[in-house]
């Protein structure tokens, strides 16, 4: 029997997990071959932003297929403590200045060390990031999210609405 846990508590645990983790694993497929790639991310609401090479296998696969999957999980040594998010959705390239500005602010907030590679905070624009890291900005946009948490019960899983993420 699955223990009683409120939707509010589940959403809170999911948001805590997102803010405490730094990497997500993207899963794609192309030419009938699966591929997984870890990337550093920063989220704004239910949008997960990351930098990656436009020529990378996961980007090429995701853009061609129009869909991808993503997992975020905490490092744990014991299966009793395993918890994470499993998501399906799509990856899109970000070039809009307004959207990229919000993403970069979130990214620098999560990874403050990033701003030390720039001569000035004014250089923290999308073009500066792209030329410095030889990477473009992308966004994983989930359309289906499942939160799993073995600390609640072994195999505990619950679908959560994307607009519940902060």
What domains does the chain contain, in order, with CATH numbers? 7-161 (2.30.110.10)
The predicted structure's pLDDT at residue 130: 78
DSSP-derived secondary structure for 46-102: TEEEEEE-TTSHHHHHHHHHS-EEEEEE---SSGGG-EEEEEEEEEEE---HHHHHH
Supply φ then ψ for residue 102, to 5 degrees: -60, -40
Angle between helices 126-133 and 97-110 (to 10 degrees): 60
The predicted structure's pLDDT at residue 139: 97
The predicted structure's pLDDT at residue 76: 85
**Each residue of 106-147: pLDDT tens digit?**
998 899 888 777 666 665 677 777 777 788 999 999 999 999
The predicted structure's pLDDT at residue 95: 86
| Residues of the chain predicted below pLDDT 50 | none
The predicted structure's pLDDT at residue 47: 97
The predicted structure's pLDDT at residue 121: 60
Q: For the chain, first and last CA: distance in Å?
A: 30
Please tell me the distance from the alpha carbon of residue 12 to that of residue 44, in angstroms, as a whole number.
16
The predicted structure's pLDDT at residue 119: 64
Q: Count Cα neighbours of 63 within 13 Å in the Cβ-side half-sphere.
A: 14
The predicted structure's pLDDT at residue 3: 64
pTM over 0.85: yes
The predicted structure's pLDDT at residue 123: 58
């Amino acid at each position: 029997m699955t223990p009683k846990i409120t939707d509010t508590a589940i959403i809170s645990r999911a948001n805590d997990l997102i803010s405490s983790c730094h990497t997500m694993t993207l899963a794609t497929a192309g030419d009938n071959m699966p591929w997984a790639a870890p990337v550093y991310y920063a989220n704004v609401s239910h949008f997960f932003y990351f930098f990656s090479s436009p020529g990378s296998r996961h980007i090429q696969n995701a853009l061609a297929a129009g869909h991808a999957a993503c997992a975020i999980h905490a490092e744990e040594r014991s299966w009793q403590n395993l918890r994470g998010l499993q998501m399906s959705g799509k990856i899109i390239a970000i070039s809009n200045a307004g959207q990229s500005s919000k993403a970069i602010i979130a990214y620098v907030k999560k990874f403050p060390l990033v701003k030390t590679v720039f001569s000035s905070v004014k250089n923290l624009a999308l073009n500066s990031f792209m030329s410095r890291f030889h990477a473009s900005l992308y966004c994983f946009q989930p359309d289906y999210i499942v939160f799993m948490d073995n600390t609640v019960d072994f195999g505990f899983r619950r679908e959560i609405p994307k607009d519940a993420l902060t």
